[in-house]
């Protein structure tokens, strides 16, 4: 990956912006769903919602470019250790998570291109084959429970990052700005961590029921719907939707203030 440092920085910042847009749509729709004015959605649903807007193809095209930029930055973080995690077991686990993030957002970007009709089959069949393959893969009890454990780890990492405020190590902002960014970052990271915990629970449950119609892998929409169905679900969903919106704001903050090491 022989890209100039300034190009990688621009790709990284565009990527954080795109991630923020995706989670902003999810969070806002979750808040509307809490009062019955909309349906909850996942990352792919957020892309479809964007596509349905005026100039949707242009907007989605810009978002896809940003997502691919985010993929490049995640690969740089994972392979070249841009954040100086090191080579300990903990560091390698973090870097493996960054690599998995690169794969996830690359899949999302490819899905978006399919909805735009870039690939054969156009928007009518975008991503269907991948979804069916993944559903069959998750249908294995061992794989589902293993992925549930990974999601617990990811959720725990988000919460640990929030509670210890380790995110400050990567933000280049003055103290006056950080007084505003701290509560936004903490609440946003905690909200996303809770979503991962719920996804882990749903994956574990589906792992136990593998072979009994457990269905495909759960996503953010499943996690939000799970909250909505709890007692006082509308209030829980409103709070979580607001938290996800704050995670989107945290992503926008990373787009501007994130330290992008590409030495």
> Is residue 221, in this structure, part of any structural domain at all?
yes
CA-to-CA separations, 146 to 22, 33, 113, 142, 207, in angstroms, rounded: 27, 31, 30, 6, 9
Residue 181, pLDDT > 90, answer yes
> Is residue 65, in this structure, part of any structural domain at all?
yes
What is the average pLDDT value for the chain, to the nearest integer?
87
> Is residue 140, in this structure, part of any structural domain at all?
yes
> Is residue 262, in this structure, part of any structural domain at all?
no
Name the 3-class secondary structure at 171. strand
pTM for the full predicted model: 0.88
If one compares 90 and 41, the residue with the highest pLDDT of the two is 41
Q: Among 51-60, 73-82, 112-121, 132-141, where is mean pLDDT lowest?
A: 132-141
Name the 3-class secondary structure at 127. coil
- Cβ distance 181 to 173 under 8 Å? yes
- Cβ distance 183 to 165 under 8 Å? no
> Is residue 85, in this structure, part of any structural domain at all?
yes
Identify the band that residue 78 occupies on the pLDDT scale cut at 50, 70 and 90. Answer: very high
Closest CA to 263 of 22, 83, 41, 5: 5
Q: 45-83 burial by CB neighbour count: b if 16+ within 10 A, else e?
A: bbbbbbbeeeebeeebbbbbebbbbbbbbbbbbbeebbb
pLDDT given for residue 151 in this prediction: 87
Give φ, ψ of 171 to 5 degrees.
-110, 130
Dihedral sign computed on CA atoms, order 223, 224, 229, 231: positive
> Is residue 106, in this structure, part of any structural domain at all?
yes
Domain encompassing residue 47: 5-257
Question: Please, which residues bridge with residue 171 across strands?
Answer: 258
> Is residue 74, in this structure, part of any structural domain at all?
yes
> Is residue 61, in this structure, part of any structural domain at all?
yes
pLDDT given for residue 117 in this prediction: 80
| CA–CA gap between residue 217 and residue 5 (Å, rounded) | 37
Identify the band that residue 4 occupies on the pLDDT scale cut at 50, 70 and 90. Answer: confident
**Percent of the chain scoring above 90 in pLDDT:** 63
Number of domains within the chain: 1
């Amino acid at each position: 990956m022989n890209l100039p440092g300034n190009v990688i920085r621009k790709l990284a910042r565009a990527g954080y912006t795109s991630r923020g847009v995706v989670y902003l749509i999810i969070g806002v729709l979750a808040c509307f769903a809490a009062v019955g004015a909309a349906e909850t959605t996942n990352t792919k649903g957020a892309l479809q919602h964007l596509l349905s807007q005026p100039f949707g193809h242009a907007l989605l095209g810009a978002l896809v470019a940003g997502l691919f930029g985010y993929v490049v930055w995640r690969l740089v973080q994972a392979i070249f250790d841009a954040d100086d995690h090191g080579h300990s077991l903990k560091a390698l686990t973090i870097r493996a998570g960054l690599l998995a993030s690169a794969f996830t957002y690359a899949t999302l970007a490819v899905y978006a291109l399919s909805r735009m009709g870039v690939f054969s089959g156009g928007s009518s069949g975008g991503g269907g084959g991948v979804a069916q393959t993944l559903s069959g893969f998750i249908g294995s009890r061992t794989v589902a429970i293993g992925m549930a454990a990974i999601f617990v780890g990811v959720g725990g990492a988000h919460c640990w990052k929030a509670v210890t405020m380790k995110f400050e190590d990567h933000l280049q902002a003055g103290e006056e700005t950080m007084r505003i960014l701290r509560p936004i970052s903490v609440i946003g990271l905690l909200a996303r961590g809770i979503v991962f915990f719920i996804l882990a629970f749903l994956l574990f449950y589906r792992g136990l029921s593998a072979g009994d119609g457990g269905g495909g892998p759960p996503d953010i929409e499943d996690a939000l719907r799970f909250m909505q169905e709890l007692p006082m679900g509308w209030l829980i969903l409103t709070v979580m939707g607001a938290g996800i919106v704050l995670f989107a704001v945290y992503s926008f903050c990373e787009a501007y203030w994130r330290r992008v090491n590409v030495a």
